[in-house]
A and B are shown apart, each in its own frame.
Chain A
């Protein structure tokens, strides 16, 4: 037998695990009895009706095919394609996330460069950071009076902390030597920040951004379940209300796939800014 590379072997094993897993899942779901085999009692109690149960993977696959072949259809408020729902979620996540980055990165720079700013802001950060982002939701809804903006605010507040802390940490940890190089070359404060401190702290900052986007994607599902209307979180909850478990399972998988894509984008960015000392 020809020798396969390690990656090939791992890929084969992954496919094997998937197939075996789906097979076990498929076989463990009891088939519905045909109407002819039902007793009179079962017929009277409605046993012949399609029963809500965990669907087999074949059904989920069928659903996925159906949904993904027309992801952007819009047939009213409660019947939109998966693409539209995910699009809404991504839009909210990215808006909240970039607003957070806009605040967190400059503020992190300030905290990292000045120990007075660090000491002054640290108590606030320590109190605000452990608050579950959803705990802000009632207050946000009351103050902002708009469910859409409230969801974005929740994303903003949950993704700000890892970015803020990592930026401050990265900036404070820039080696004295590199700052001295900037000083002996008479670089202005702004030029030093952009040409020396930013690239030096970039790996730490991007790590914080990567953690943040992960958290934001976790939180958006819960936030949309609360605010409703649109988005993948709303979709999951809506299908649960419809008792359409096939759609629920399908959308869970979609949440995972999108989360993975978002994370791997930041993985690429991380690799681009990495350096070896």
Chain B
């Protein structure tokens, strides 16, 4: 197996369960992410998505297993790995702009003040924040605007890997749609490698190159790696028309509703997720009366 830009190898997390035993959240999670990719991870609550995220961010240590980025062992938080937290985590005593410059000065300590401000303002503008709004405190901004600031802060730092922990979880559907589009725009401008947690299937299909599916915890595993065979640029309205859209969506729904529970707890040693590639575009104009095509599961 060729070394990926980011490789997660046999990651296991156990906690004491309070009765002297151990509780395994997930076991032997092994997968890789390539440079410039946008990867989403989907799974039910409790499967350890956030734990994986915290380990990647360096905020917590796994029980065993390693994370390597660019061939180097990851330990502790670093400016190379930017994080967008679900609850924005903006510093409430700083204005939106100051929140971004806070990150930029940490990342580029040798830059002079004017350059820091220019860089920060540019990234705020990329997510649609301009004018007066950037001088407001987070408490004076709406939830959507706060998350925009948080995204701008993360992108402005130009980390090698960007981690998004359910960034749109607390937003209403309309705001979520707009910011998702802005996220795609910033991402395609910058060639960031992005790893994102979500439990919104449509969001994952819209944004990701690949979706990692996790089985239910405890003893959760990364079971499948679903490639999103819908060409970019993707627009929310148009992708539903794409022949692959519902096939992929149904596969994901089916997994989360049924198979995530069935597969749960079955550990068979170090395992990579099965790659699933659903592509109906070639067969789209064949006979409609045929049974729906079977999913192709390919071992990597």
Contacts and interface: CB of A to CB of B under 8 A. Distances in A.
Contact of A186 (B77, B93, B137, B139): B77
A184 B91 contact: no
B92 A275 contact: yes
B85 A185 contact: no
B10 to A, nearest CB: 25
Contacts of A202: 93
Given A177-B87, A199-B91, A184 B59 contact: yes
| Most chain A beta carbons < 10 A, residue from B78, B89, B139 | B89
A186 B137 CA distance: 24
Interface residues of B, number: 22
B157 to A, nearest CB: 8
B83 interface: yes
Contacts of A183: 58-59, 77
Nearest to B93: A275
A277 B87 CA distance: 11
B79 A185 contact: yes
Interface string B139-164: 10000000000000000010000000
A178 interface: yes
Contacts of B126: none
B78 A186 contact: yes
A200 interface: yes
A185 B103 contact: yes
Contact of A184 (B77, B87, B93): B77
Interface in B71-106: 77-79, 81-83, 85, 87, 89, 91-93, 102-103, 106
A97 to B, nearest CB: 25
B212 interface: no
Interface of A: 177-178, 180-181, 183-187, 195-196, 199-200, 202, 273, 275-277
15 contacts: A177-B87, A177-B89, A178-B89, A178-B91, A180-B85, A181-B89, A183-B58, A183-B59, A183-B77, A184-B59, A184-B82, A185-B103, A185-B157, A187-B106, A275-B92
